[in-house]
Every structure is written in structure tokens, then in C-alpha cells.
Amino acid sequence: MIPISKPNLDAAEKEAVLEVLNSGIIASGPKVKEFEKQFAAYTGVKHAIAVSNGTCSLHTCLVMNGIGKGDRVLTTPFSFIATANSILHAGATPVFADIKEDSFNIDPEKIEEALKRDIFRKIKAVMVVHLYGQVCDMDAISAITKKYKVKLIEDAAQAHGAKFSGQKAGTFGDGGSFSLYATKNITTAEGGMVVTNDDRAAEIARSFINHGSERVYYHTRLGYNYRMTDIEAAIGLVQLKKLDSFNEKRRQNSAELSAHLSKFDFIVPPKEGGKNFHIYHQFTIRVKNNRRDEVLKTLTDNGIGAKIFYPIAIHKQPFYEQVLRKIPSMPASERAALEVISLPVHPGLTREEIEAIKGAFDRIRA
């Protein structure tokens, strides 16, 4: 089976981990500090704060921006559930705005409609998700959040190195959040990163991930143990050097598959917006005419590890139907959940595997 994702690790990561093990400093230490410094430089921000996973990163990002009990955060219903869960973790309530059909990203027009309806001004932040590796329309969204004076937070868990108008994901608003899980474009096995240009927000974040401590045994707020280890950071430092080459390989593989799939009138390959630099964390197609099950079975039968991200929109999840109640329909998100399939495009694909993916589609009847 050709896997949908595959961590790309070699001798360099092994040597980096062994160096840490031999040093005796395996918890959060100098490697974490160096990884934070390098990640901030790569992303183009003043501060990067390493954490234990992507969900912790989102939670921290919200808290450092003052989001808490009684607040509402506007976000997309078409994402991994951690996006909405992190809002609940912060004590706030998620509200949803539907997505654009072509990009799967939150629709700026729907954001503005929701903010206009919010007559009591309970929405304190907009959390966008740069889904599948493509940045949202940040020109429009940045203008809207400034107009309504709400915080702008970026869930860039799938967008390491993605750009909009040449600016990297995670740097447009009041804070950005990255995941470094094993399936991401770079990995530390588990892990995450918070980025910001706000000095005070960075101070709060560093305290929050360390039990609310501002110095040893001096605690000024409720916090958590969200720290990254030096073992993970050592892997991250090596992976970060490879990120651009990994992304370029994903783009090459995606372009080849898009060209091949364009001959099928019931398949819509992903579209890259004019200002976007898409890094294809997932290469996600739409399958029209109620043929997704057929296509997925053919791919699976031919050893292609295709997968559906995400088969149920967040507002349709049983938990959120119970907790939030009376959630309006989100037709674009609900339609996407019924049509999307993601295909392998990771940089570890061989020429033979790319040809096998193309060949599997050629076995599907017209």
C-alpha cells in the first residue's frame, strides 16, 4: 500500500537524537531554544514558542490573546476537530462560518456576515485554518478583522512554508499555530509551535506552557505543562533545513497528478489561488456525481492509500450537535465532506508509485 503520508527521516535525524541522548539533557533545554530561534527566523516572526503538540499550540495561541470564558471565536466547520476543541479548552465557544468551494478555506464573506450579526460583540477572535496547505484569502480576512476590531489567529497546522502574496502562513494576525505531528510536512514526532510578533503575548505563552511560571517557582496564572523536549527539537532542527525541498517535491508531485486527473470530468483537482504558494500537505480532489465510494474503492484495491479528510464537518459531529445546538447549515462544508479524497503526494514517493497512482485512476470507468 502506498501510504497517504510518510515521515521523511534519515541518518541526520538519528545522529541529532543520539547527540541529545548522549548529552544527558533530554527534557526542554538548549535544543528547544535553538529550534525556536530557527523556526522564528524561517517563518519571519519575532517569537516562536515550542510546545508539545498542535492542539496545545492552538490553546496557547488563544490564551495569549486574551480569549477566555464568555468569548466566542469564529472559525471554519471544515477542519480537524482540534481547531474547535481548542476554543472550548480556552473556555470560549466556537461559532462557524462556511468555506469557499474552490479552496476549502473559510469564506471571507461569511466571516463578515457573522460579525455583522454579532450585535453584542461576543466574537472576540477569528481563527482561520489554512487547510490542506493553502493559505486563506488574507487580504480580505485581515481587512475584515481590523474593521471589526477582533483578533486574528491562524491555525497553520498544515501550512509550514505556505505563502500568500509572498508572506508565510502564521504571520498575518495576532498569533499563528503549527503542528509538528508525524504526518505533517515536517515533524518532531509530536510537537507544535506558536508564533507571534507581540512581545507581551510571547511572555504569556511561555508562562502558560510552563504551569503559569514567570520564573522558577513563581506562578502568576493557571498554566499547563505543554513543553517540548530536546529530543523532539533535535529532530525539528534537521527537518526545518529540509522543509523547502520537501515542499517543492510535493508541488511537483501535485502538478503531475493534477495534469493527469484533468481528463476526468467528474474529478476536480485542487486549485491554487493566484496569490498562493500551496505546499500540499494534502492533495485533495473533489469527486462529483456521487462517485466517491467507487473511486476510493478502486484506489484502495490498487494499493493506493487514499484517505478522506474530513468525512464529517465539525458542526455535524455528535459532540458539537449536543454542546452547541441550533447550528445553522453549512452547505459548502457539508458538500465537501461528501466529495473529498486526499491522495499521496509526500516527498518520499517514487516514480513507480506516482505512475501507480495515475494507473489506478485509469482503471476507473469514464
- Contact indicator for 45, 170 with CB cutoff of 8 Å: yes
Amino acid letter, residue 77: P
Fold of 243-362: Aspartate Aminotransferase, domain 1 (3.90.1150)
CA nearest to 54, candidates 169, 151, 187, 208: 187
Decide if 270 contacts 132 (C-beta within 8 A): yes
Assess whether pLDDT exceeds 90 at residue 219.
yes
> What is the average pLDDT score of the chain?
97
Give the Cα separation of 66 and 228 in Å (integer).
Answer: 23
Per-residue pLDDT tens for 160-212?
999 999 999 999 999 999 999 999 999 999 999 999 999 999 999 999 999 99
Q: What is the pLDDT of residue 276?
A: 98
The answer to whether 240 and 186 have CB atoms below 8 angstroms apart is yes
The fold for domain 11-238 equals: Aspartate Aminotransferase; domain 2 (3.40.640)
Q: CA-to-CA distance for 154 and 163, rounded, in angstroms?
A: 13
Q: How confident is the model at residue 365 (pLDDT cuts 50, 70, 90)?
A: confident
Give the C-alpha separation, 50 to 19, whole Å. Answer: 20
What average pLDDT score do residues 84-89 get? 98
pLDDT digits (tens, 9 = 90+) for 332-343: 999 999 999 999
Averaged pLDDT, 36-51: 98
Q: How confident is the model at residue 249 (pLDDT cuts 50, 70, 90)?
A: very high
- Residue range 268-310, pLDDT digits in tens: 999 999 999 999 999 999 999 999 999 999 999 999 999 999 9
**Is residue 325 left, alpha or beta, with left meaning phi > 0 and alpha meaning psi from -120 to 50?**
left
**Number of helical (H) and strand (E) elements in the chain, helices listed first:** 12, 15
End-to-end CA distance of the chain: 24
Q: What is the reported pLDDT for 67?
A: 98
- Give the pLDDT score at 26: 96
Element (H, E) at 192: strand 192-196
Residue 27 confidence (pLDDT): 97
Where are the domains positioned within the chain? 11-238, 243-362
**Average pLDDT for 68-81:** 98
pLDDT, tens only, 125-165 = 999 999 999 999 999 999 999 999 999 999 999 999 999 99
Write the pLDDT tens digit of every residue in 308-327.
999 999 999 999 999 998 88
